[in-house]
Amino acid sequence: METKKWVVDMVDNLSTSCPQIKEAAQLLRENEVVAFPTETVYGLGGNATSTEAVDKIFKAKGRPSDNPLIVHIADEEQLKDLVTDITETAKKLIDLYWPGPLTLILPAKVGAVSESVTAGLSTVAVRMPDHPVALALLKETGLPLAAPSANLSGKPSPTSANHVWNDLCGRIAGLVDGGVTGVGVESTVVDCTEEIPIVLRPGGITKEQIVQAVGKVGMDPALQKQDETPKSPGMKYTHYAPNAPLFIVKGSTSFLQTLVDVEMKEGKRVGILATDETVNNYRANVKLSCGSRTNLSTVANRLYEALRGFDEAELDLIYSESFSTVGIGEAIMNRLEKAAGHQIIVEK
């Protein structure tokens, strides 16, 4: 399959009159799949009302079909077409954080989207992205778009068009290049069907922000389990993983270095994922920083780029520093733990 690529300059007055947007939107209306940037990561979009289009998303990614997809919309009017009820909690969160990196789980209208989108559940995950290219594309298509991350299933999510091209060229109809994404980790997913909202996936909107908006908030225990039917995208199967096995180290820099030294003495090629503050203190075959420990938003922004960077070095294993779970750190550790298959080494 030929994959078309369009470069779009993100100017303030970007509109649906942009010819690149028009061409990409036409492919989406024809039930083809097209990758596009959002403020979190690049998404792989397809007509959410078409099982044909949604099946193409799963096929391109190699993604298991029992994992639900997030539906992206351009305005709140579209939400009314997709759900039977917008709870008071949902309304508060929409007012504060839409458009933005927040996905809400709400009761789905029967037949509003393909059953392949909801994975047979009675709920649907919906968000309004905060990105001019994504919004222009959504408005031009006039469709709700199912859009998981635009990468091969299990690999680190794409934060640049280059990442998408490397994974999916020849597997999808098109790619809209809108530059590097901002947040760097996927949206927060909140189940608003319960009396107390439940965070199903930490992300760009922190738990602290949600608590401030609506009061009491729960965390789904399934975040630590991988054998249940997922209500949220990204909760099942290994995600975000580099080619080499990844281990998270909770301990001092000297402890982490000792682990590396043991492996290197055995002739193994070892990588270290660290921060700006510590990366130069280590000895390893490859050392990459994913941002500053004093500003974890930079770590979120650069995490997937760093994880992908290790794949070029043909390593035997990778050790990663760990992070605080306050604020955006919760999303960072969630993604790292998934990438590592929950392989964690703790200094005693």
Domain boundary among 140, 164, 186: 186
Sheet of 102-107: strands edge to edge?
4-7, 174-177, 34-37, 42-47, 145-146, 70-72, 123-127, 102-107, 188-191, 198-201, 218-219
Q: 229 vs 139, which has greater pLDDT?
A: 139
Domain boundary among 149, 165, 186: 186
- Distance (Å, whole) CA 150 – CA 165: 9
pLDDT of 216 = 93
For residue range 65-105, what is the model confidence (pLDDT) as tens digits?
888 999 999 999 999 999 999 999 999 999 999 999 999 99
Annotated binding-site residue? 151: no
Annotated binding-site residue? 289: no
Annotated binding-site residue? 114: no
For residue range 293-318, what is the model confidence (pLDDT) as tens digits?
999 999 999 999 999 999 989 999 99
For residue range 191-246, what is the model confidence (pLDDT) as tens digits?
999 999 999 999 999 999 999 999 999 999 877 654 444 455 544 456 789 999 99
Considering the domain architecture, whether residues 257 and 155 belong to the same structural domain is answered as no
**Per the domain annotation, does 204 fall within a domain?**
no
Six-digit token string for 98:
């839409």
Annotated binding-site residue? 322: no
Considering the domain architecture, whether residues 123 and 255 belong to the same structural domain is answered as no
Query: Taken in order 105, 106, 112, 115, is the CA torsion positive or negative?
Result: positive
CATH number at residue 114: 3.90.870.10
pLDDT of 107 = 98
Annotated binding-site residue? 123: yes
Annotated binding-site residue? 269: no
Annotated binding-site residue? 127: yes
For residue range 248-296, what is the model confidence (pLDDT) as tens digits?
999 999 999 999 999 999 999 999 999 999 999 999 999 999 999 999 9
Considering the domain architecture, whether residues 140 and 286 belong to the same structural domain is answered as no
Res. 112: pLDDT tops 80: yes
Considering the domain architecture, whether residues 125 and 31 belong to the same structural domain is answered as yes
From residue 254, give the alpha-carbon distance in Å to each of 72, 258, 278, 292, 323.
Answer: 45, 6, 11, 19, 16
**Per the domain annotation, does 234 fall within a domain?**
no
**Per the domain annotation, does 28 fall within a domain?**
yes
| Number of domains, the chain | 2
Annotated binding-site residue? 293: no
- Distance (Å, whole) CA 161 – CA 41: 10
**Per the domain annotation, does 156 fall within a domain?**
yes
Considering the domain architecture, whether residues 176 and 304 belong to the same structural domain is answered as no
Annotated binding-site residue? 25: no
**Per the domain annotation, does 122 fall within a domain?**
yes
Considering the domain architecture, whether residues 182 and 267 belong to the same structural domain is answered as no
CATH number at residue 326: 3.40.50.11030
**Per the domain annotation, does 109 fall within a domain?**
yes
Annotated binding-site residue? 166: no
Considering the domain architecture, whether residues 84 and 180 belong to the same structural domain is answered as yes
Considering the domain architecture, whether residues 30 and 126 belong to the same structural domain is answered as yes
Six-digit token string for 268:
């193994």
Annotated binding-site residue? 63: yes
Query: Taken in order 144, 80, 136, 36, is the CA torsion positive or negative?
Result: negative
**Per the domain annotation, does 75 fall within a domain?**
yes
Considering the domain architecture, whether residues 166 and 268 belong to the same structural domain is answered as no
Considering the domain architecture, whether residues 182 and 251 belong to the same structural domain is answered as no
Domain boundary among 186, 203, 230: 186
Annotated binding-site residue? 342: no
**Per the domain annotation, does 228 fall within a domain?**
no
Considering the domain architecture, whether residues 28 and 164 belong to the same structural domain is answered as yes
Show the domain range for 303.
Answer: 246-346
